[in-house]
């Protein structure tokens, strides 16, 4: 810009330039500076021809981030959320399916994501209409109503939303309720369901303004929900109330290998405690350990040929019988290092639940050391972790890499990236937007993590057969939430669980639903 800066000789203060437009002279100076630097011309050639990320990729960074991990879990086949925002569901179910596979000695297993997707639409629609009824006198341009009305049944969510759905509706295997065209590509269905719901909201508010009592408004809402159910059933198909389930366990020759599912320290294997824990739970729960029928079944419900078979079982019965951990036995930790959210407290986000009558999205804000140590502790104990992050930062989807030392946009553009983590969250530059599953970590000679194995839900063509590697630097900067088993928390963090929650507004820059 033109140099119209003025300095007051009395105060020695500098005032802003009077000319606020970009002038032709400014452009000439910018261009001259650009063209005079050989590095700029080389960078432009690379970026224009190949794109920013490819041009910024450091071969040294790729070389220095191997895909070997001295603690890693054996997971099932990679999953694929396709063109939907269900990552939080996939990551949640991938976390639990690991426990199912290793409790029941299965080669592979996948839950039905479509089943929870159906109930998530029903419950989010119900919560939206309930929120409309709770804010009938709120102006439509108020910040609260804008948050409520932003995306009534959008796909995104958190671990706690998964827990709400599983507790109410149970879980089913994928064979009982496969994917549909609209679960794999959800945009059109969600668009029109949102449109219908906003129309319902307008009618409810209009009836209230005309003097309708709450009984009348609730009758209108009940009629609205019947329409929501019809639309969802047409788009996704009605979910099963009972289903048949058959699975074959691995043979005796594989039993030892199945129990040793945590590889540690260069090939040495650490036995997983989850199998014993599951067996203990099964022996303590009659529903999980049916009495033998005519002497052909073992204590765990399988027959002697290694077949698990259920003629007719409900989703809740299935979850309680075959999932060896409860979704409620986890807590969400968050690392949001901002002045407005001191560490060592529980926070709850207003208007954030997806099931009426359940608590809002709640998390414990802890320092990064605490978050990182919890992740290592849980992986070493033989259990994967759900986590949320900003997956757009320093990410190479094709290569399966999350790493600032590999994606050198700073070198490509000749810039310094300005943000510390708290500042990036505060200014909306690095919100959580994607959930995945941690299934491994590499520890250095001092026991500190230097890279992480990440199971994604973008199919086998993303990353290396669906898996990504994240440097610890990236983990510290961009992982914002981690779901940890309560029994594996450190004592100081566990003590925070009994403290009152601090409510925060839904627009505060703490966390965002993951898609």
Q: Give tens-digit pLDDT for 78-120.
A: 999 999 999 999 999 999 999 999 999 999 999 999 999 999 9
CA triplet 179, 456, 95: central angle to 5 degrees? 80
Query: Which residues are registered as beta bridge partners of 454?
Result: 438, 468
- Confidence (pLDDT) at 216: 98
Q: What is the DSSP string of 4-67?
A: ---B-TTT-PBPPPS--SPPHHHHHHHHHHHHT-HHHHHHHHHHHHH-HHHHHB-HHHHHTS-S
Domain ranges, ordered by start, for the chain:
24-63, 71-101+111-148+156-241+326-352+359-504
Q: Average pLDDT for residues 241-257, to the nearest whole number?
A: 74
Work out the average pLDDT over 165-175: 98
Res 512: pLDDT: 87
357-379: per-residue pLDDT in tens? Answer: 999 999 999 999 999 999 999 99
Rounded distance, CA 90 to CA 113, Å? 7
CA distance 292 to 302: 10
Predicted TM-score (pTM) above 0.85: yes
**Which alpha helices (H) appear in 390-448, and where do they start and end?**
409-413, 421-426
463: pLDDT strictly greater than 50: yes
Question: Would you say residue 297 has pLDDT above 50?
Answer: no
Fold that domain 71-101+111-148+156-241+326-352+359-504 belongs to in CATH: Cathepsin B; Chain A (3.90.70)
Segment 312-325 shows an average pLDDT of: 98
Question: Catalytic site residues?
Answer: 87, 434, 456
CA nearest neighbour of 104 among 258, 257, 280: 258
Residue 400 is classified by DSSP as T
pLDDT 10s digits, 212-248 = 999 999 999 999 999 999 999 999 999 999 999 999 9
Query: How confident is residue 509, by pLDDT bands cut at 50, 70 and 90?
Result: confident
- 263 — pLDDT class (breaks 50, 70, 90): low
257: pLDDT strictly greater than 50: no
Instruction: List, as own/partner pairs, every contact residues 200-207 make where C-beta atoms lie below 8 angstroms and the sequence separation is at least 24, other chains included.
Output: 200/129, 200/132, 200/224, 200/227, 201/128, 201/129, 201/132, 201/149, 204/129, 204/132, 204/133, 204/136, 205/132, 205/136, 205/140
d(CA 16, CA 4): 8
- Residue 290 dihedral angles phi and psi, to the nearest 5°: -65, 150
389 vs 68, 84, 135, 327, 330, CA distance in Å? 22, 17, 32, 21, 18
Mean residue pLDDT across the chain: 89
> Does residue 308 carry a pLDDT above 70?
yes
Residues 351-360, mean pLDDT to the nearest whole number: 96
Average pLDDT over residues 379-398: 97
pLDDT band at 510 (very low <50, low <70, confident <90, very high): confident
Q: Which residues pair with 137 in a beta bridge?
A: none
């Amino acid at each position: 810009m033109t140099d119209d800066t003025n300095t007051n000789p009395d105060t020695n203060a500098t005032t802003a330039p009077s000319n606020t437009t970009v002038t032709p002279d400014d452009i000439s100076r910018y261009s001259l500076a650009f063209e005079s630097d050989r590095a700029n011309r080389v960078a432009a050639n690379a970026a224009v021809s190949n794109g920013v990320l490819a041009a910024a990729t450091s071969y040294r960074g790729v070389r220095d981030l191997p895909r070997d991990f001295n603690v890693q879990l054996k997971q099932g086949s990679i999953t694929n959320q396709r063109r939907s925002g269900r990552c939080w569901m996939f990551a949640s179910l991938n976390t639990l399916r690991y426990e199912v596979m290793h409790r029941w000695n299965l080669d592979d297993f996948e839950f039905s994501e479509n089943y929870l997707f159906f109930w998530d639409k029903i419950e989010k629609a119900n919560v939206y209409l309930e929120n409309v009824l709770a804010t009938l006198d709120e102006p439509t341009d108020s910040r609260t109503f804008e948050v409520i009305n932003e995306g009534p049944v959008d796909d995104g969510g958190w671990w706690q939303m998964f827990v709400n759905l599983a507790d109410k509706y149970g879980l089913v295997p994928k064979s009982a309720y496969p994917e549909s065209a609209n679960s794999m590509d959800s945009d059109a269905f969600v668009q029109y369901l949102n449109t219908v719901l906003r129309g319902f909201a307008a009618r409810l508010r209009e009836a209230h303004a005309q003097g309708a009592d709450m009984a009348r408004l609730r009758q209108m809402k009940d009629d609205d929900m019947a329409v929501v159910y019809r639309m969802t059933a047409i788009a996704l198909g009605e979910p099963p109330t009972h289903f048949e389930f058959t699975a074959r366990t691995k043979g005796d020759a594989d039993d030892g290998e199945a129990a040793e599912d945590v590889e540690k320290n260069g090939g040495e294997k650490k036995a997983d405690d989850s199998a014993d824990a599951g067996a203990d739970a099964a022996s303590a729960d009659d529903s999980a350990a049916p009495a033998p029928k005519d002497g052909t079944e073992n204590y765990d419900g399988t027959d002697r040929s290694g077949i698990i078979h259920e003629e007719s079982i409900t989703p809740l019965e299935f979850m309680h019988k075959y999932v060896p951990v409860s979704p409620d036995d986890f807590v969400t930790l968050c690392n949001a290092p901002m002045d407005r959210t001191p560490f060592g407290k529980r926070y709850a986000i207003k208007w954030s639940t997806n099931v009426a009558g359940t608590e809002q999205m709640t998390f414990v804000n802890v320092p990064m050391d605490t978050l990182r140590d919890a992740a290592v502790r849980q992986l070493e104990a033989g259990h994967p972790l759900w986590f949320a992050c900003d997956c757009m930062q320093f990410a190479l989807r094709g290569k399966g890499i999350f790493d600032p030392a590999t994606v050198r946009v700073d070198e490509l553009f000749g810039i310094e990236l300005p943000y510390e983590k708290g500042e990036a969250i505060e200014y909306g530059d690095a919100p959580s937007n994607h959930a995945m599953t941690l299934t491994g970590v590499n520890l250095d000679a001092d026991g500190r993590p230097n890279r992480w194995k990440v199971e994604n839900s973008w199919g086998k063509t993303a990353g290396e057969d669906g898996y990504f590697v994240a440097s610890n630097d990236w983990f510290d900067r961009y992982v914002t939430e981690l779901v940890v088993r309560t029994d594996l928390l450190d004592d100081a963090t566990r003590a925070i669980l009994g403290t009152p929650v601090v409510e925060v507004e839904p627009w505060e820059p703490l966390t965002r639903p993951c898609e």
